[in-house]
Structure 1
Amino acid sequence: MPKKVDHDQRKQKVAEACWRTIRNEGISGATVRKVSHEAGLSAGAMRHYFNSQEDLLLFSMKLVIDRIEGRFQKLTFSGTPVERSVQLLSQFLPLNKEQRLEMEVWYAFTAGVIHRPVFRSLCDEMDDKLRLACSIVIDRLSGSGLISRAINRRLETERLYALLDGLAVHGLLRPDRLTPETMVSLLRYHIAQLCGSAG
């Protein structure tokens, strides 16, 4: 009997090939021909999964979001409230090979919004998830009495968001300066400062 092909799994493999192509050649270089070559498929086989380059790129964007959400669902939190906050927010940082590739691809898509408005909805979705994670951290720390209830939670959420986004961008651009250990240390330090301690 012919081997049954798992279409969802194959689409994910193609999207991962699209990620690698984007990392090496940028969004404009992620043509169906180049991605099919990277995925080891014929252009005809690619058309079986994606009707156009736009469909391929949008699916590849959504897969980044899905992977991050998947990590959230598998997280087992431990340690102090500060450590649990760091564990949650670290999912948005390029701390290992997998997360680095996701972030490289994500910021390529984010930059692409300027010329490809079709990316806007998914970029906004990711941005909203990042802000929500920051808001959850601030609300939980405040609700636990670890930070003053008098703080401006909206502004602290935006400040934490700006820190996290900046760490991710500069962790990609200057990995020699912002190593994974440094990014986590800066994140931990900021949250500990919110709680009234640098330790």
Structure 2
Amino acid sequence: MPKVVDHEERRRELAGAVWRVITRDGVAHVSMRTVAAESGWSSGALRHYFATRDELLAFACEQVLTRVTARITALRPQGTPQEMVRALLLETMPVDSERHTEASITFAFLALGLGDPALAAVQRKILIGMSELCQNLTRHLLPDASPQQQLSAARRLNAMVDGLSVHVLAGHLTPAEAVAELDAHLTTVSP
């Protein structure tokens, strides 16, 4: 009897190999060859799932979005609106090794998306998702504010989280320092 292969699981395994290469060597070192070597597969077997490097990279980045979205959706934070917002935003920030890897991959796509429309489309999904998350969270933080005030506060919150994340990735801040800055910002965003 032929072996049943879970193709989506195989694709996720390859995304994991892409993440490891990016984390260890940087996104410039991702190639079909390096991902095949990292996964223990042949380049031919890898090409059965992804025809090009860009297709492989796009899938790996989409997997980050899927993982973060699943974590946020499953989270049921308790406490004040600021505490709940904090808990949800920390799922998107590089405050531990898993989230550091995810943020590294996500921010690597900013540069890649500048020159490639397919990768730019994936990056847009991530940016739009984060923007929508911040808008939803700001509605909880500032329920009595006007829609324009909420939108402005959401944009500042989004910029704060992105900026703190970049500084952690660059080694300019520790995760604890970034969390402290987020906490300080959230105390200023209140009804």
Q: Is this a same-fold pair by TM over 0.5?
A: yes
Identify the match of residue 178 of structure 1 among 157, 173, 179.
173
Show the 5 A alignment for 1:81-92. Answer: 81-92=81-92
Q: Contact 2:12–2:63 at 8 Å: present in 1 too? A: yes
Q: Contact 2:142–2:189 at 8 Å: present in 1 too? A: no
Q: Does 1:46 align with 2:46?
A: yes
Show the 5 A alignment for 1:93-132. Answer: 93-132=93-132
In structure 1, stretches of 5+ residues that fail to align are none
Show the 5 A alignment for 1:24-43. Answer: 24-43=24-43
Q: Deviations over 1:94-120 (max 9, x none)?
A: 011111101111111111122223211
Task: Look up the SS of the partner of 1:152 in the other structure.
Answer: helix
Q: Following the alignment from structure 1 to structure 2, what is the Cα–Cα distance between the partners of residues 131 and 151?
A: 14
Task: Look up the SS of the partner of 2:111 in the other structure.
Answer: helix
Q: Following the alignment from structure 1 to structure 2, what is the Cα–Cα distance between the partners of residues 29 and 182?
A: 30
- RMSD of Structure 2 on Structure 1 (CA): 1.9
The aligned length equals 191
Q: Following the alignment from structure 1 to structure 2, what is the Cα–Cα distance between the partners of residues 155 and 15?
A: 35
Alpha-carbon shift at residue 123 of structure 1 (Å): 0.9
Which piece of structure 1 moves more, 36-45 or 49-58?
A: 49-58
Amino acid at match of 1:178: L
Q: Contact 2:112–2:120 at 8 Å: present in 1 too? A: no
Q: TM-score, normalised by structure 2?
A: 0.91
Give aligned-pair identity as a percent: 32
Show the 5 A alignment for 1:138-149. Answer: 138-143=138-143
Q: Following the alignment from structure 2 to structure 1, what is the Cα–Cα distance between the partners of residues 100 and 139?
A: 28
Q: Does 1:153 align with 2:150?
A: yes
Alpha-carbon shift at residue 3 of structure 1 (Å): 4.3
